[in-house]
A and B are shown apart, each in its own frame.
Chain A
Amino acid sequence: MSENMPVQSNGGVADLEGRWRDIYTYLERPGPLANDGFEPGDQVKEFLHTLKILVIGAGGLGCELLKDLALMGFTDIHVIDMDTIDISNLNRQFLFRASDVGKPKAEVAANFVMKRVPGVKITPYFGKIQDKDEEYYNQFTIIICGLDSVEARRWINATVITMFDEEDPETFKPIIDGGTEGFKGQSRIILPRMSACYECSLDMQTKPTTYPMCTIANTPRLPEHCIEWASVLEWAKEFPDKKLDGDDPEHIKWLLDKASARAKEFNITGVTYTLTQGVVKNIIPAIASTNAIVAASCANEAFKIATNCATAMNNYMMYVGDQGVYTYTFELQKKEDCPVCGGKAIKVEINPAHTLEDLMDLLMDRKDIQLKKPSLRTGTKSLYMRAPRMLEEATRPNLGKQIRELMEDGEEVTVTDETLPISIQMTVRFTE
């Protein structure tokens, strides 16, 4: 896409008769691969064109996703991203131009696609996913993630899964998660409480490369050791109260000088500014084609889930592109004791004038959950912790307090018990 190409004005859908012809091929007739419940016809077309879909991340995967979805018939797309455009994004994040550097990714990407694909509405939000509450996420039918961190994925996974209320089908939001790292990529589908969630498979995440503390302190052999020495040990010594910011050129420069001096002392070569920033921010070069493949897979799955015109993937696809092209699809298993989706959700009604101890008795009496030594916390408060001893002593006075002093009506309480592999999310409703 060159900058000089004529861009169609937003002339409405009428002058684009037949634009969805190829898409409709899948939606107007039954097919051997279609799901049992698939009903071809106008209704499913209408559903595709009107449902709200959320794209999280407007970076390498996000740009591809927005383009793919807009061209596939999704016309009500929302996008959320907290970043602004950096010059190093331009090689692969093709919705951005040099003149966009410094502007919010979500807004620039939304405007570009809206200008290019008439009739598509993209609503950007420039900010963190954590800024938004359940009400925001509840408006979408499908959520697609093109994120770059484990932390953000865990957050959105936990948020979307815990907001699913089995009595309210509307709260069921499939998550499609794409991820790339160099020539490797993956896409997966998370169906809240039906299939493995992100937390179920947390153990399989590779963690950032770290080096033994003693190696970086005493026997450095690699330029990375020198940089880690500077960033882990020296920075904390020099600036005990300042947090290291990998995006601050002054911080990186300081590390570079320290690391270079150390490298010289140990006859190590290869400490550069780029490497320093790479080690500190744990950068792995992004490959445009990997993003394109993974995003295509995610968009494809979104289309299948939305229309039911074919069976969706079950449930994880890995792609390895550094030695030929290899993909493998398999089912990640749900973990019974997963802290996010393995737990049980229960509702308890209690008079707020009763005490926490009464609430505990009520819990212990329930036959469906065999509790022996429960510990209870809200999102911000330790109500009663059975152990360790000091926490038990600090929270014991709460047992005699009235429920209304400790929580609000509708408060979510997490219950754990050492005899129980899972945790329980309890919603406490007041009877008054």
Chain B
Amino acid sequence: MLNIMSLKKKKAEGGGEGGPKKPKTTAAQIRLQKDLGELDKLPSTMTMSFPDPNDVFNFQLTIRPDEGFYKGGIFRFTFKVNTNYPHEPPKVLCTQKIYHPNIDLEGNVCLNILREDWKPVLNISAVMVGLQYLFLEPNADDPLNKEAAEVLRSNRRLFEQNVTRTMRGGSVEGVSYADVTR
């Protein structure tokens, strides 16, 4: 068993140097470095970019779906990770105004693992895969854009047309969307 008093005595008898050290890396940083370092085999549909390579807490993700309704679009997201990662999930926003049942016009994303189902064992890669999945299988049951979800549920043909039109910057029901083909 540990004896604090004897530890102190040993010190008094000499031994032990080591001056002040530099500020330490936070646990969140270490974990994030590990998460990112493992992203060496990104699917061809995804690219990441770092406005400041020294700041790994803020980065962007681009998704180019190669099948499904959203094929041909280029969708951009910002990731903000805070120092409480992985206790808290990263904050993810879509930077474009897009027509999607699970993404609202402000860019908020309804993805369970970004909120209520986040767990510290999940990582950046899991979130990226989750986002890509939303483009392959938009989910009408958990809508954030209710109108889009309603169309998807009732008339898939029309939904497909709406998606194709809005991706090129067209509008649906008076709302104009961002051109995501460039």
List residues of A whose CB falls within 8 A of some B CB.
Answer: 35-37, 43-44, 47, 51, 133-135, 141-142, 150-151, 154-155, 157-159, 162-163, 165, 167-172, 174, 191, 194, 199, 202-203, 205, 207, 210-214, 217-218, 232-233, 236-237, 305-308, 311-312, 339-340, 343, 373, 375, 377-382, 385-391, 394-395, 408, 410-412, 414, 416-418, 423, 425, 427
Question: Is B27 in the interface zone, CB < 8 Å from A?
Answer: yes
A35-B1, A339-B30 given; A388·B102 CB < 8 A:
no
Stretch of B10-18, B129-137, B173-181 lying at the A interface:
B10-18
Least Cβ distance of A301 to chain B in Å? 12
Question: Is B42 in the interface zone, CB < 8 Å from A?
Answer: yes
Contact A412 B50, beta carbon cutoff 8 Å: no
A343 to B84 CA separation, bound complex (whole angstroms)? 19
A37-B3, A213-B110 given; A412·B40 CB < 8 A:
no
Q: Which residues of B contact A388 (CB under 8 A)?
A: 36, 39-40, 42, 48
Q: Which residues of B contact A387 (CB under 8 A)?
A: 36-40
Q: Which residues of A contact B143 (CB under 8 A)?
A: 214, 217-218
Question: Is B6 in the interface zone, CB < 8 Å from A?
Answer: yes
Q: In chain B, residues 37-96, which have Cβ atoms closer than 8 Å to a Cβ of chain A?
A: 37-40, 42, 47-50, 53-54, 56, 83-84, 86-88
12 sample A-B contacts, Cβ–Cβ < 8 Å, listed by A number: A35-B3, A36-B1, A171-B18, A207-B118, A213-B114, A214-B142, A377-B33, A378-B22, A395-B53, A412-B21, A412-B22, A423-B30
Contact B3 A308, beta carbon cutoff 8 Å: yes
Question: Is B182 in the interface zone, CB < 8 Å from A?
Answer: no
Question: Is B26 in the interface zone, CB < 8 Å from A?
Answer: yes
Q: Which residues of B contact A339 (CB under 8 A)?
A: 27, 30-31, 34
List residues of B whose CB falls within 8 A of some A CB.
Answer: 1-8, 10-11, 15-31, 33-34, 36-40, 42, 47-50, 53-54, 56, 83-84, 86-88, 102, 104, 106, 108-112, 114-116, 118-121, 142-144, 146
A170 to B146 CA separation, bound complex (whole angstroms)? 61
Least Cβ distance of A256 to chain B in Å? 22
Q: Which residues of B contact A389 (CB under 8 A)?
A: 40, 42, 47-48
**11 more CB-based (< 8 A) A-B contacts, given A163-B24, A385-B53, A414-B29:** A154-B27, A169-B10, A174-B4, A202-B120, A212-B115, A212-B142, A213-B111, A339-B30, A385-B37, A395-B53, A412-B22
Contact A167 B18, beta carbon cutoff 8 Å: yes
A133 to B1 CA separation, bound complex (whole angstroms)? 29
Contact B116 A233, beta carbon cutoff 8 Å: no
